[in-house]
Amino acid sequence: MTTPQDELLPGTRRALLHRVAVAQAEGRAPSLVAAVVRDGRAVWHGARTSVDGHAPDENVQYRIGSITKTFTAVLVLRLRDEGVLGLEDPLEKHLPGTGAGEATVAELLAHTGGLAAESPGPWWERTPGSLRPGLADVLGDRAAPFPAGRRHHYSNPGYALLGALVEELRGAPWEEVLRREVLEPLGLDRTSVRSQAPAAGGWAVHPWADVMLPEPAEDFGRMAPAGQLWSTTGDLARFAAFLARGDDRVLSAETLREMWTPAAPAGPADVADGATYGLGLQIQHRDGRLLVGHSGSVPGFLATLTIDVADDVAAVVLANCTSGLLTSQVAADLVRIVAEAEPRIPEPWRLLRDVDPAVLELAGQWHWGTSPFALRVTADGMVSLGPLSGGGRRSRFRPNGDGTWTGLEGYYAGELLRAVRRPDGSVDHLDLGSFVFTRQPYDERAAVPGGIDPEGWRGIG
């Protein structure tokens, strides 16, 4: 339920409705339903349908396909946070005998385990899971056509393995673990492994005629962790808010940021599209925005959940057609409409409650060689270091409690920043992963590697 301050402006709401109306009409979808989340709350819901007077609402279930993978990834990251497994553990350590055991947990999450894209045999999304009763049936004889860790190759069987890993380490079916550890804590009571009325039927629309054919709704069995779930825009809006903010009952915000971090090498096509993959989340640069989330498709249904983390706006789009509609583009457009029409209002600037004089002493201008940088003390207790102007390497740094800081972004992510002091206690220079930053360009008083020419700075002559 929205409050007055959450509501979107009438012009924004009309632009959102126009976008989904165009998508449903041009995509020839029997129905399309969408939601927008801002600041952690659903602020808009819209729907279009080919049946007069029968528009679906936020409680109607659609099949969400590979968005299921993000739910499975959350379960695996919970095991990691509890210390039950490590991301660099080979699958064989916890689930022996699969034939794909050299791949690590992280590689399976990021689709870099070298596994095939699909399960062998009949099209698994249109045939019953009973045809693939065991993991050997899911993987087949050619489980890993590529060396693990060398390339990003999207793999549905990889997430079947991760679901089996969850079952092995929890001692319970994937479906039961998902309900207990994610769905119930987050209040996602309209998300389920099998459809629960009211639910949309899945349809294939003829490409050259305005007629349609019902698609089968199979139970995927072992492949369920890769694409089985049904959900609603109401539930996925809540799930998007969780992915953006975290919930300590399920996963911390810090772990979710790890899921957004690119973990897969991008291929040439991915580079062109500005897309890569994290730990269970797709990451894309579109129209100058960093979007994280996941898309999904199974016969009869298309789905996308996407989040603009910087603007704290998310969108969910669900449709009940097999093809013809690019839900990822529609979702990105919904996010853009809100972010541009109603820019995020920043939090008020606030003074620091307290600051260590030894930290404040470091604030100001520094030089890496001849390049000027600025170190700032931020209100969240961190420090930031970046060029005074133009592009270049910059990062925030988290305090370690011992007078050092760890970089959080870009080139300096994971690197250690420390102040090197002279015997009298004054600061000689900053050391950042062996790079020396001095108060003056090549300060002759500081311990600059290679030393300073004794004749100092000079002109030509």
Q: Report the CATH architecture of 4-341.
A: 3-Layer(aba) Sandwich (3.40)
The per-residue pLDDT for 270 is 65
> What's the burial of 151, exposed, middle or buried (CB within 10 Å: 0-12/13-18/19+)?
middle
Residue ranges matching CATH 2.40.128 in the chain: 357-438
Whether the CB-CB separation of 177 and 185 falls below 8 Å is answered with no
Long-range contacts for 177-181 (Cβ within 8 Å, ≥24 apart)?
177/75, 178/71, 178/72, 178/75, 181/75, 181/78, 181/250
- Cα-to-chain-centroid distance, residue 12: 26
The per-residue pLDDT for 39 is 93
Q: Give the 3-state secondary structure of residue 373.
A: strand
Q: To 5 degrees, how large is the angle CA 67–CA 194–CA 251?
A: 45
CATH of 357-438, one of 2.40.128, 3.30.70, 1.20.58, 2.60.120: 2.40.128
The per-residue pLDDT for 5 is 45
Whether the CB-CB separation of 435 and 417 falls below 8 Å is answered with no
The per-residue pLDDT for 48 is 96
The per-residue pLDDT for 273 is 66
Cβ contacts of 364 within 8 Å, gap of 6 or more: 374, 375
The per-residue pLDDT for 2 is 44
Query: The whole model's pTM is what?
Result: 0.89
The per-residue pLDDT for 269 is 65
CA distance linking residue 259 with residue 254, whole number of Å: 9
The per-residue pLDDT for 271 is 61
- Residue 290 sits at φ, ψ, to 5 deg, of -95, 115
Cβ contacts of 13 within 8 Å, gap of 6 or more: 44
Q: To 5 degrees, how large is the angle CA 340–CA 342–CA 343?
A: 70
Residue ranges matching CATH 3.40.710.10 in the chain: 4-341
Which of the residues in the chain have pLDDT under 70? 1-6, 143, 266-274, 461
